[in-house]
Amino acid sequence: MSGTPRTILHVDMDAFYASVEIRDDPSLAGKPLIVGGHPTRGVVLTCSYEARKFGVRSAMSMFEALQRCPDATVVPPRGSAYATASRTLFDLLHTFTPLVEGLSLDEAFLDVTGSARLFGDGVTIARQIKAGIERATGGLKASVGVAACKYVAKVCSDLRKPDALVVCPPGEEAAFLAPLGVERLFGVGPKTAERLHARGIRTIGDVQQRSLEELVRLLGEDSAAHFHALAIGDDDREVEPGRDAKSIGSESTFDRDLVGPEPLREPILRHCEEVARRLRAEGLSAGALVLKVKRADHSLVTRRSVATVPMLEARELYDLALRLLDKLDLRRVRTRLVGVSASALRPIEPVQKELFADTVEVKRPRALGAVIDAIAGKFGDGAIRRAGGR
């Protein structure tokens, strides 16, 4: 970190899909509401804050969600309504700066460092954005975080949702982050958190206290350096306006080059699973897939294919990826990196209306279980188990 501090905003709509549903049907207000529910792809896309009190979360299986909150109202997603609200949001954000990086339909980073003369400081701009969104979308609310880097801005926006405006002044990152749990460090999953907890490292402040050497022993070199820097709010990633969430990708570089196409299948499957998980979490389907292969000599080949029906499942992505892999002649070719990315992203629409209608009416887990069993009988239960997913 050097020079003049940047002013980065993270804007995140509150319970986005659920809020759109409540806006369009005010009788849903104040009730536990779940948007989601396709039985074979049954995950929660979003839920209202009332449902969150019961422990319902995005990307949770509908089955589990309805066990936790049997009285929730379930509504099917209306992708076009969310897409319209999303366009309104991004149009508004672009009036403050061209430096808008979309992360999903309802979430973006903005670099407003250069916008101060026109619009005021970060907090002033954040207030205008919050008010502007509410006005332009007919009452939807957003939480905004203001900080000198992306990571801290995102932590800020998430800290006091909903309808929050949280600021971390430049230079105060370490003190600001110190009391927060290590789970808030970007990249710390349940496993890493457990490993840190076992060593008495519970807060980001604890991470700040430990030496880099100890963290390296605990987490390996790359992760340790990453978390050590994040813990003091050291994150110099730029806001990248090109990346308007047009694709979701996953890739890996191998420790040792792999020879031929066969050994690439397993990593490709893992990447498809990761991409599918993120699609589900965002409530998106993919219309196309890109397979990317970097050879040992660093030459890069990519192949793209368009799907006949929108893809949601790892299995669908994987089938297409394997077909692309076959087209690349990789016999005896040494490969150092492989990746897949999904594009032509669209909000999920209920595809099979009949099946969908069943789940919307079914409110009790036992009855939902029966629906799932019935569908399992029809399609084979592999599909159902996958749908419960991670």
Instruction: Work out how close the CB of 107 gets to Mg ion at its nearest, in angstroms, rounded to a whole number.
Output: 5
User: How far does Cα 318 stand from its chain's mean position?
Assistant: 20
DSSP state of 179: T
Query: Would you call 367 helix, strand, or coil by DSSP?
Result: helix
Instruction: Work out how close the CB of 94 gets to Mg ion at its nearest, in angstroms, rounded to a whole number.
Output: 19
Q: Is 335 left (phi over 0), alpha (psi -120 to 50) or beta?
A: beta
Residue 107 annotated as catalytic: yes
Q: What are phi and psi of 172, to 5 degrees?
A: -105, 15
Q: Which is nearer to Mg ion, 154 or 210 (CB)?
A: 154
Q: Which is nearer to Mg ion, 51 or 325 (CB)?
A: 51
**Region binding Mg ion by CB under 5 A among candidate stretches 9-17, 21-29, 126-134, 155-163:** 9-17
198's tokens: 């076992």
Write out the binding residues for Mg ion, residues 10-29 only, by CB under 5 A.
12-13, 16
**Region binding Mg ion by CB under 5 A among candidate stretches 8-16, 20-28, 212-220, 288-296:** 8-16
Rg (CA), the chain: 22
Compose the 51-90 pattern: x for residues touching Mg ion by CB under 5 A, - for all others.
----------------------------------------
Look at strands 8-13 and 142-147 and give their pairing: antiparallel
Instruction: Work out how close the CB of 48 gets to Mg ion at its nearest, in angstroms, rounded to a whole number.
Output: 12
DSSP state of 390: -
Instruction: Work out how close the CB of 16 gets to Mg ion at its nearest, in angstroms, rounded to a whole number.
Output: 5
Q: Which is nearer to Mg ion, 144 or 290 (CB)?
A: 144
Q: Which of 50, 101, 107, 274 is catalytic?
A: 107
Give the residue among 272, 289, 286, 299 at the shortest CA–CA distance from 345.
286
User: Please, which residues have CB within 8 angstroms of residue 161's CB and are 6 or more apart in sequence?
Assistant: 12, 14, 143
106: contact with Mg ion by CB under 5 A: yes
By CB under 5 A, the count of residues binding Mg ion is 4
Q: Which residues bind Mg ion (CB under 5 A)?
A: 12-13, 16, 106
Catalytic residues: 107
